[in-house]
Every structure is written in structure tokens, then in C-alpha cells.
Structure 1
Amino acid sequence: MRLLVAGGDPVDAGKTTFAVGLAARLRAGDDPLAAFKPRAGNDRWFDHGDVRRAASEGRLYGKDVRRLLDAADGDATHERRNPIHRLWRPTPGTTGLLGEPGRTFLVDRVRTPDGDEWVVNGTADVPDRLRRDLPLAGARRVESVRAVNDAMRDLHLPALDRVAGDVREAGEEGVALVESYGDVATPLREVRFDAVAVVDPGRCRVYGGERWAVARDAATGGREEGKLEVRVGRVTDMLDPVSTHDLRPLPAAERADPDAVADAYREAYDALVATARDR
């Protein structure tokens, strides 16, 4: 079984809290569980403590991935389940290399079969401490959109292909739980999911995986033609959900406890799993 959690809001939909509770719910079952967040990122300013913690280990990962893997109670590394991680920094009043208003990317960490490869934004001011803590001496330096696209072709896309294979295998052997990023409808284009949960503040909409895939493909002209990331809203505009569920706001203590989240959102989780099994 393959389950996808996507966000209906690009910034703070609550999908990680929902995914963490779902992992706890699935962990209590009989099937082996593997959790994935293929792409993630954090901000050196807003997530400074998390960045410092990871960089002090010579690594780059975020708290969302850590929470998800802890809830799934597996032994996979952050890098295996989150093969692409991007570090941003705010740049108020300017546009970043990739056209990002008010921020720009500093470093990408990409998992390869031989370990991590690093991509550094050559147009950005990477802080000295990061250069000391992270193994950036041999990093690939990019100074144009074309160079970024070349790096994505050489590094990022093969990394996503590898994690897609892991997701398919995990879904055959047990349950594969994938959390998307931002409000992107499908983080792995070549994986078909059995059911999809779209999380917004205060609600969860459940969709059948096959219909989700058809709508996603239609939004980009088909599996072979579609190259751009499709936003959740474009897909949900084409579909009616199987069911919709209220999600009550949780105090910090409950959000920090995966089992408490699993209990609070039990109705939505049961509906998602039932939809996947009825595919």
C-alpha cells in the first residue's frame, strides 16, 4: 500500500503533523512501514537551531523529516528517505537565483549511490560557519539557472528515481508513506499511490490514488509531456474527494506526541486506509 500526504497550502498546511500521526497509526499495524519525504528544505534564519544541529554533524536535514522517521520507528537514515534537502536564507527586497522573491537557496544536499553530493549557489553569500561545518570543498558551484538545471538533471532527478524505486518496493512489502513538499501534488511522478490525503488547516480531503494520478497527468498534458510541478489546487479542482474530515487544532503537547495525533485524527486516517484498500 502506498499513501501520499499532500498540502493544500504552500506554507503551513499541517501536513507534517498529519503525516507523523499517520505514521504512528500505521506503525501499530502488522505491515512493515517505511516513511519518505523525497524533497525537503529549511531556512537558515527561521530554522536556525535545526540547521546548526544538522550542520554540526556535517549533515543537512530538517525537523520535519526527523519527526516523520521517529514516528515511523524505522532505522533508515534521513538521507536515504529524504534524498534532496535544500537550505534557504532570507534576502529581503531581492530575488534569488531561481526567481524566489525575498529569499534564495544556499546549498542543496543530494544523496547518490556513493554518498552525498553538494550543490552551492555561487551567487549567494554562504556563511563561513556553514562552509566550515559542511563538506563543501568539492561542491558543485552553480551561478545560473542553466547550471542549476544541469545539476538537477545530473543529481536531483536520479536521486528521485532511486527513492521512487524504494517507495514502490516498500509499498509491495508493506506500507509506504510519502509526504510531499509545499503544495506540490505529486513529489514522485513515476509512483502511483493507492490513496491521497490533502491537508489544509482544519480539514483533510481523501482521494483515490488512481483518479488523483489521472487528474495530475491531465494537468500537465500526460505522463510523458508533464515536466512542471503541479500544484495541489489544480488537481483538486478536477476531483471530488471520497470524503472530507475536520481536523481540530492541537496544542503543542499533542502535536509533539505522534500517538496523540494518531488518536485525534483517527477518523481521517481510517478513511484514508479504507480508500487505499478499496482501490
Structure 2
Amino acid sequence: MATRILITGILPFDSGKTSLARQLVQGFVDSGVRTEYFKPTSGHNYWYRSEHTAKCVDEGLLYSFDLRRLVELLPSGVPVQLRNPVHSLFCPAVLDDRTRAPVTTLGLAGWESHLVMQRFTRPRTMGHEDTVLVAERLVREGLVLISEREVAQLVGDAARVSVESLDDCLGFEQVHLEECVSECFAFLEKRADTIVVESFNDSVWPWSGLSSVDMVLSVGPGQLFHYSAAKVRAAADLYTREGHSTREVTFSRVSDLIRPVKRYRLYTGTGLSPQDLRQLTGKDD
């Protein structure tokens, strides 16, 4: 089994997880360690990440903006979907002349963030199998900014499933998300000596099927905290509601229950100091 490093965010947004992941992956790669990066679940906004969206459409691949920042450091030959098995696309609505958005539970996050697509990927012997949920009515009737052509390019050869409500998406997630993530993780782990897992937003444990990790690093602006993995998992389990996943438990829920093993300073523009990076990547051993 590979060494597993879990990166979580102290804040819901802009904690610095991907910058840390990139620095760690680069450090391991420079040391000659077979390294992989895994982003189990993610999402981006069609409008706010318009450049990334356009590249996804051109490539015919719906995947994480964070992964795009890491992929150049990683071994070739692995489809990006297997490193990022579940990805959601949110899109602004087209408001009417009274600035009203369509009435749908897919827009509960706000009129600018309607859930319009969600990809689920599983590894297969000859590659991978993708299923994409699509808010067909919103797209077909022009109620959101994304076009039918763009959706078609992003779906590609994947199985296409129509959804009408947030409950439709949550129902599909409940059945398929954990299996997709666990299977893709197992596939990647076989190829690596070290695997860096980046959690979603401030989720402290990204999926229930992740039985253990070797290190938990929780990051925020200017600082990084190393926690006992066993204690973080125990705290996540304590706050996980029956029938739900550990991924729903946020850092703020468990922060009073855990104490860091060590604190590291992060520096503007460079992140970890060279000495701290060597310590975390094992170069000082």
C-alpha cells in the first residue's frame, strides 16, 4: 500500500490545498518517488472559471481546475477522470426581465450556481466508464448560460442521465459516489509509492471508504497543521450522521476535538520552507 497523505482545508474556500499539493508532489517527484495525486470530488463554475470551462469543452473532458494545475507533474498515461472520479459543473441561470431565476432545486446554491452537470467515473479493464448527469430541461430551454453544444462536447461518449431536481442528483450520488471514488483510488494507489489526496473545500475526510491515511495536513492562509490521522478519522466518524458520508463533516465541526502534532509556517509565494518540505517528503530521513 502506498503512503497516503490527506490534505484538507481549514476554510471552505481558498485555503491553499492545491498549492500545497503541488509543492508536495513536486518534492516527492524530485526525490524519485512514484507519486500520484487524487482529487476524489470537485466542482467548478461555468462563469467564474470560464477559461478552464473553455479548455474542458475543447478537450471534451469535464474535470477539476485544481487537477489541471497538477497534471504536468504526474505520470502520463492515466486518464484525468481516474484521478478525479466525481466532478460537478455549476452555471448561472438566464434571468427573466424581473431578474428571476428558474424555479428548481438545482439552483439552491444561488441563481449563479445551478448544478447543470455531474460526471461519475469508474475504472474498467480497458480504460474507464463515465456517466454524466445533465439538467436537460434547463439546458434545452436556454434557462442557463451553457449551450447544448457545449454540454454535448463535455458528455462525449459517456452515458447521459437526465436529472430534474437536486434529489435526483443526491439519489445517484448515494448509490454511486463512494464506489466510484474507492475504485479509482485503488487503481491509482497500485501505481504509486506515495499518493496525495486533496479533499473538497473544508471536508475533513473525503469519503467514508478511505479506511486510513498516514498523514493529515490541514492548511489555511500562512499556516499548515499536521494532525494524527487516526484522531481526525475518529472525530469525523463522531460527527457523521447515520446514512451519510464522512465527506459532509467540515473542519470547523471537529477542530475543538483534535490538536495538531506540529504547525508549519507557509510563506507568501513559496509555501513551505525548503527545510520543512524536506521533512514532510522524507528527504531528511
Q: TM-score range by the shorter chain?
A: 0.7 to 0.9
Q: Separation in 2 of the partners of 1:210 and 1:74? A: 33
Residue in structure 1 matched with residue 120 of structure 2 by the alignment: 110
After TM superposition, the score normalised by the length of structure 2 is 0.80
Q: Name the amino acid aligned to 1:109.
A: R
Residue in structure 2 matched with residue 266 of structure 1 by the alignment: 274
Q: Separation in 2 of the partners of 1:82 and 1:206? A: 24
**Is 1:241 matched with 2:249?**
no
Number of residue pairs matched?
Answer: 260
After TM superposition, list the pairs within 5 Å mapping 1:190-269 onto structure 2.
Answer: 190-191=209-210, 192-220=212-240, 226-227=244-245, 229-250=248-269, 261=270, 264-269=272-277
Residue in structure 1 matched with residue 134 of structure 2 by the alignment: 120
After TM superposition, list the pairs within 5 Å mapping 1:37-76 onto structure 2.
Answer: 37-76=39-78
1:134 to 120, 139, 154: 154
CA distance change for structure 1 residues 46 and 145 in 2, over 3 Å: closer, same or farther?
A: closer
- The question of whether the paired residues in 2 share the 8 Å contact of 1:195 and 1:273 is answered with no
Q: Separation in 2 of the partners of 1:189 and 1:2? A: 15
Residue in structure 2 matched with residue 101 of structure 1 by the alignment: 110
| Alignment root-mean-square deviation, CA | 2.7
- The question of whether the paired residues in 2 share the 8 Å contact of 1:86 and 1:105 is answered with yes
CA distance change for structure 1 residues 152 and 59 in 2, over 3 Å: closer, same or farther?
A: same
- The question of whether the paired residues in 1 share the 8 Å contact of 2:36 and 2:189 is answered with no
The SS at the match of 1:181 is coil
- Tell me the CA shift for residue 213 of structure 1: 1.1
Report the more deviating stretch, 20-29 or 54-63. Answer: 54-63
- Tell me the CA shift for residue 205 of structure 1: 0.8
Q: How high is the sequence identity, in percent, across the aligned residues?
A: 24
Residue in structure 2 matched with residue 82 of structure 1 by the alignment: 84
- Tell me the CA shift for residue 271 of structure 1: 4.9
Q: Separation in 2 of the partners of 1:136 and 1:34? A: 26
Residue in structure 2 matched with residue 160 of structure 1 by the alignment: 181
**Is 1:146 matched with 2:148?**
no
- Structure 1: tracts of 5 or more residues without a match: 251-260
The SS at the match of 1:117 is strand
